[in-house]
Amino acid sequence: MITIVDPGVRTTVQDLGRAGTMAMAMPPAGALDQFANRIANALVGNGPKAATLETALTGLTLTTDTDCTVAVTGADVDVLVDGVTHPTWTALWLPAGSELRIGEIRGGAHSYIAFAGGIDVPVVMGSRATDLRSGVGGLGGRALRSKDMLRIGQRTRAVEEGRHLPMRLRPALSASEEVRIVLGVGAHRLAPESLRALTEREFQVAAEADRMTCRFVGEPLRIVEPEDPEDTRRADEVPVAYPFGALCVADGSLSCRLRDAVPDRGALAVGTVITPDLDLLAQVKELDSVRFTAVDIDSALKLRTEHNDFVRSAIRAIA
């Protein structure tokens, strides 16, 4: 068992998320940074679907009553075992009775802590991921609290301490990110100057970002009336059929729907963040800046294939 001493800002149990549940208004949930989550599991010898802990910013402290192997990936943070600093993106030996603490953050926003054997919580609709909005998955469908106890699953194979992801394959965390998007069905409803601003100006990450939505501060984006006089729909009536990754405008403000979002109305979908760059949004925080670059659908599909190949090569580099 592991025991949570201090859960920090927000710590949840996550995995790769749920597939095929959107028709029931159930979001995919799962790790916001899928790459960091998969690498954390690979470092400790877990399969890709094993559950990990996702912690936002800093403050997580836990203890263990058994010897185990652990790895911390994602944000650039201090990892301390009984006060001794250890590297991220590396398999560490955690002796029984020791304390693991995620300390000061230098870059990024979310860390992933994998234990050999995975976090053993019930599977709900094919996943152990916590969906905070629906209150399902993880430990009671909620963020972890002080004194919570979690069982570690059966270890599938032994791994050596010191296994690590080579530096050349680790993502470069930055306070200014370029995020690629495919313009969507609602982009034509933006005023020309707002459409240019969307892809030419920087937006700052707002303090209200959470697992549902990443909000941005920047030049207000103006929505214009449709040219077709028979089109009487309001801008917010353009349906968001699948909100994950959707870039939306409401009341002039820009936001991106993340893994805990569900289909709804009230915003104009102007584009979609491409799959590889959703991991970048997982690692931005308040006051960081984002610039959006438009790509066509063929380029987006090619970039997704290249990203999948990169993830596989990174896992092989560990093994």
Within 8 A by CB and 6+ apart from 186, the residues are 235, 238, 249, 268, 269, 270
Mean pLDDT for 220-230 is: 78
Least confident of 36-40, 191-195, 248-252: 248-252
The answer to whether residue 235 scores a pLDDT higher than 60 is: no
Convert the pLDDT of each residue in 112-138 to its tens digit: 999 999 999 999 999 999 999 889 999
The answer to whether residue 265 scores a pLDDT higher than 70 is: no
Burial per residue of 123-162, b for 16 or more beta-carbon CB atoms within 10 angstroms, e otherwise: ebbebbbbbbbbebbbbebebbeeebebebbebeeebeee
Q: Crossing angle of helices 297-318/275-282, nearest 10°?
A: 60
The pLDDT of residue 155: 76
Q: How confident is the model at residue 23 (pLDDT cuts 50, 70, 90)?
A: confident
The pLDDT of residue 21: 81
The pLDDT of residue 19: 85
The pLDDT of residue 234: 58
Structural domains of the chain, with CATH: 2-169 (no CATH), 176-314 (2.40.100.10)
CA R_g for the chain: 20
Whether this model's pTM surpasses 0.85: yes
Residue 91 CB: number of other CB atoms within 10 A? 23
Mean pLDDT for 163-173 is: 94
The answer to whether residue 146 scores a pLDDT higher than 90 is: yes
Greatest CA span in the chain, whole angstroms?
Answer: 70
Beta strands in the chain (DSSP E): 2-7, 10-14, 52-56, 60-64, 68-81, 84-86, 91-94, 99-115, 119-120, 149-152, 176-183, 202-205, 213-217, 246-250, 253-257, 268-273, 289-294
- Average pLDDT of the chain to the nearest whole number: 91
Q: How confident is the model at residue 302 (pLDDT cuts 50, 70, 90)?
A: very high
Convert the pLDDT of each residue in 291-300 to its tens digit: 999 999 999 9
Mean pLDDT for 264-288 is: 90
The pLDDT of residue 134: 87
The answer to whether residue 84 scores a pLDDT higher than 90 is: yes
The pLDDT of residue 188: 86
The answer to whether the beta carbons of residues 304 and 276 sit under 8 Å apart is yes
Q: How confident is the model at residue 219 (pLDDT cuts 50, 70, 90)?
A: confident
**CA distances to 78, 89, 269 from 85, in Å:** 7, 13, 44
